[in-house]
Structure 1
Amino acid sequence: MIFTNEMKNILIPTDFSENAWNAIRYAIELYKNEECTFHLLNTYTPAIASSRFMASGSSTVMSGDGARLHSERGLKEVLLRIKSNSYYKNHSFKTISSFSLLIDQVKETVEDHNIDLVVTGTKGASGLEEVFMGSNTVRIIKAVKNCPVLAVPEHFEFATPNEIAFATDFNRFFTQSELRPIFEMANAFAATIRIVHVQYEIKALTELQQFNLNMLRKYFADVEHYVHTVSELNSVSKTLEVFAKELDIHLLAMLNFQHSYMEKITREPVIKRVAFHTQIPLLVIPELGMGKPSTNKERRAMSVSD
């Protein structure tokens, strides 16, 4: 598999929270040795007057202007904070302040700016309410169909991802294009890939599962990799959490498709996945299928060649 050294475009939505700042800092460190353009996105929607009988006037205009100014000022402050903390000469930064809904703008930006990866912070529990990765993160993962999403836990401090877990049940055939983000991470950090299969009860693989496993082994032939079969502990999310902790995993990767582990986890009862969202960065790769390019760059290159 061939990888290009083209400049990467990374999209990082921010609401100016410490949670979002941690995701920015993680992304910068992750790509410190690569030429990157980071697109920092903040969306805003001015407060709508509560009374439908209120006449439009200067107060409504000020509300919109105030939201826009807050967004633009916040992005400028983020840029200053980046340059005073961790700044690399091979990195450039662009800001996008948009009067839009977050998910709509993320999808549009991925297309318009040829984004290779979306990096977002994930929120932990708040009071009695347990939030799995944060509702915005889950919505981004579900909405973005043509770009990987990296979810960074709220308090996670950067660690070089030289141990990467790839969770799969071998029931689906994966294409090389779909696995490309994992290959790139493994190559960039000389990482070991640990293919982890969670079983409710340990039993032999079916013929289909064995075929898919054999294909994965061929794909990963040039990368140090191991296959781990583990018994389910209460839930898939809890099992992966324990696995990651015991093997000191620095990044967990999953493909997002119907009946995948990712889908199972998002549907698990909240009480079962309480600890999962606070552990390690999660790389979620969209389903591409046979013959489809893995990135916007590849799709555009194919359209030009045609």
Structure 2
Amino acid sequence: MKKKLLLPTDFSKNAWNALKYASELYKNEEVDFYLLHAFTVDNYRIESMAVPEPGEKNYEEAKGKAEKNFKKLFQQIELLEVPANHSYFSKVVFNTPLEAVKQFIEDKDIDMVVISNKGVSDDAKSIMGSNSVNFMEKIRNCPVFMIPGNVAFKEPNEIVFPTSFKTHFKRRELNYLYEISKITNAPIRIFHVAKEEKLSKDQQEKRELLKECFDGLNFTFHTEDHDDIQEALHHFLKSRDSEMIAFINKKHGFFENIFSKSMVKKLGFNTNIPVLTLHDLRN
């Protein structure tokens, strides 16, 4: 079945890098790439009753600028060695980036959203841009794959999958992680931070379920005793030079904690790691 990937773009270098990464990752798959640009107009608020109409000067200027940028972007794409099984489509909409992406996912039944870690308008010193964090936190019905702007595609040495063994796992929720591990030959490192002496019966059952979900893949279990989950995770990633990480995101604000400025400064963490955000589909 043909895969459908959505790539929100602000025409920045980081967004271009995310596109190239996704194209190389799925070079052997049949994929439709949907490139989406959401624009707003000065002096108008999306949530306001007074919104610009097509035909109005400000609206047409903003839309026209985006369409010109798309023309340049497709010229860049033509210079890539685009696989014959890849197709590209563009869409310009008046909306906020988050709401535009949410609506497009529903309209096109998107399989995965691929984003950069920050856009052209974000603070150069920031680790994660505001839109990137919003996408990873608030898009609940579709995986979000974040590609740092300075990361070129390579098969990752491993994919770290942190878990408390308390999440209710389902194969369909882990399917994208399974697929990426399979096509890149990357082993999965299942990482648990232990705050208890031993796993509960329910946790043990979840651990066994993970074995079933990852059957056919190369995976190992790793446990560390630590009071701070985020700090333990950062140390694990850094000590192993891990090149990809995947989460099931159940908590609001989780990514602000993981990528907080204080944590980055304390642990020397950098944004050289692509992050695959999965979701508990019951949320």
> 1:214 corresponds to which residue?
208
Kindly indicate whether the alpha-carbon contact (under 8 Å) linking 1:202 and 1:230 is maintained by their aligned counterparts in 2.
Answer: no
Which residue of 2 is the match for residue 250 of structure 1? 243
Structure 2 portions without partners, runs of 5+? 45-54
Partner residue, 2:50: none
Match of 1:223 in 2: 217
From 7, 11, 15, the counterpart of 1:16: 11
Aligned to 1:66: 61
TM-score (structure 2 length as normaliser): 0.85
Specify whether residues 263 and 170 from structure 1 end up closer, same or farther in structure 2 by C-alpha distance, changes over 3 A only. farther
Secondary structure of residue in 2 paired with 1:272: helix
TM-score by length of 1: 0.79
| Structure 1 position 271 matched with structure 2 position 262 | yes
Matched to 2:13, the amino acid is: E
Q: Which residue of 1 aligns with 2:49?
A: none
Show the counterpart of 2:278.
285
CA deviations 1:28-74 (Å, max 9, x no partner) are 1111111111000111112128xxxxxxxxxx933222111111111
**Root mean square deviation of aligned Cα:** 2.7
* Paired residue type of 2:199: L
Contact 1:119 1:152 in 2 (8 A): yes
Deviation at 1:84, TM superposition (A): 0.9
Percentage identity across aligned positions?
A: 34
* Equivalence for 1:160: 155
CA distance in 1, matches of 2:253, 2:56: 42
Which residue of 181, 193, 200 maps to 1:186? Answer: 181
Structure 2 Cα separation of the partners of residues 43 and 265 of structure 1: 23
Residue identity matched to 1:42 = H
**Structure 1 unaligned spans of 5+:** 1-5, 50-59, 291-306
Q: Give the superposition deviation at 1:279.
A: 2.5
1:239 to partner: Cα distance? 3.4
What is residue 43 of structure 1 aligned with on the other side?
A: 38
Per the alignment, residue 136 of structure 1 pairs with: 131
Secondary structure at 1:24's aligned position in 2? helix
Q: Is the 8 A contact 1:232 1:239 kept in 2?
A: yes
Shift of 1:132: 4.6
Measured in 1, the distance between the counterparts of 2:248 and 2:37 equals 27
